[in-house]
Amino acid sequence: MERQIIDAVNQGIVLIDQQYRIVGWNRWMEIHSGITSQDIANSNLFEKYPNLDNSTFVRSCKSVFKFGNYIFFSQKLHNYLFPFESIGAYTTRHNMMQQRCTIAPIRSDEEITNIVITVQDVTESVYLENELKMMSQSDSLTGISNRRFFDSRISEEFSRCARSHKALSLLLFDIDDFKRINDNYGHQYGDIILKEIARICATIVRECDIVARYGGEEFCIVLPDANLIGAESFAERLRRAVESVRVRYKDGGHISVTISLGIAEYTEKMRDEFELIANADTAMYEAKTKGKNCVSCFSAEAK
């Protein structure tokens, strides 16, 4: 009866003795490990799963044996204890099953003779949590980061620079005469252009850079460890890449666009990130007044 109950539980149950021999292995563990309880019985846990032979896990087991406490292994810190492959749709993001595990004492006549490890598959909940997080941080049209994510990251980067005194530049740009494009060709083609520009940005930025849709036809790129000279070189490369874009129109023609870009660099005199954003916005407005399709750098003297 007891074995039937343990096998019916929808989570892994492993019993080990004080020599770390496996004395219990339920049906759930058999299915996901591919090892039957008969084949693994009395095997040393660390011989079967050498990844568990680490100071954290061993120390936890010793603590349970000695004090009879309960130990919790969170997925966020450890991902998993037992290296089981994930199954279903979640393999695209997690090739290994994400697990939430506990270690608890088993007593016999007040003496702790064994400990039980429970293994819960939380891959689905972790997958959905990540999906929701990505949705909350991504612009639904272009797929790049949204304004909310940008606001949090620019604050983090500004604080980092204030501490480390490293370079930081911010680039703001918008699409020239975007209203005319929507009026002449329709919002469908306006959306296509927005997505194409987001794609171009994503292909030329570094891994550490942050690309976001700031609002409407405005975009921003945070460039950590980039001074004004480096940012200006990057901005000019981006301007040329956008200028060369040709979006095919339904009558066989093409739609081309340009962008106006403003750049500001972090200085130690700045009060907060909002001043950096305001400076980049001022530089972008200056690029507009110069005739559009150009790059302008913020200058405190010209302010």
List pLDDT tens digits, range 188-234. 999 999 999 999 999 999 999 999 999 999 999 999 999 999 999 99
| Residue 133 placed within a domain | no
Q: Which one of the listed residues 157, 217, 273, 286 is annotated catalytic?
A: 217
pTM of the predicted model over 0.85: no
Domain C-terminal end among 77, 109, 128: 128
| Residue 302 placed within a domain | no
Phi, psi of 150 (to 5 degrees): -60, -45
Torsion of CA 146, 152, 157, 158, to 10 degrees: 120
| Residue 240 placed within a domain | yes
Q: For residue 236, how far is the Cα from the chain centroid?
A: 29
Q: Are residues 23 and 122 in the same domain?
A: yes
Does pLDDT of 1 surpass 90? no
Q: pLDDT tens digits, residue range 166-175? A: 999 999 999 9
| Residue 51 placed within a domain | yes
- What integer is the mean pLDDT of 56-61? 96
pLDDT of residue 242: 96
Domain C-terminal end among 128, 162, 195: 128
Domain C-terminal end among 128, 147, 175: 128
Q: Are residues 184 and 261 in the same domain?
A: yes
Q: pLDDT tens digits, residue range 273-296? A: 999 999 999 999 999 999 999 999
| Residue 190 placed within a domain | yes
Q: Are residues 106 and 144 in the same domain?
A: no
pLDDT of residue 87: 82
pLDDT of residue 301: 61
Q: Are residues 121 and 147 in the same domain?
A: no
| Residue 303 placed within a domain | no
Confidence band for 93, pLDDT divided at 50, 70 and 90: confident
Does pLDDT of 179 surpass 80? yes
Residue 243 among the catalytic residues: no
Q: pLDDT tens digits, residue range 25-36? A: 999 999 999 999
Domain that holds residue 291: 138-297
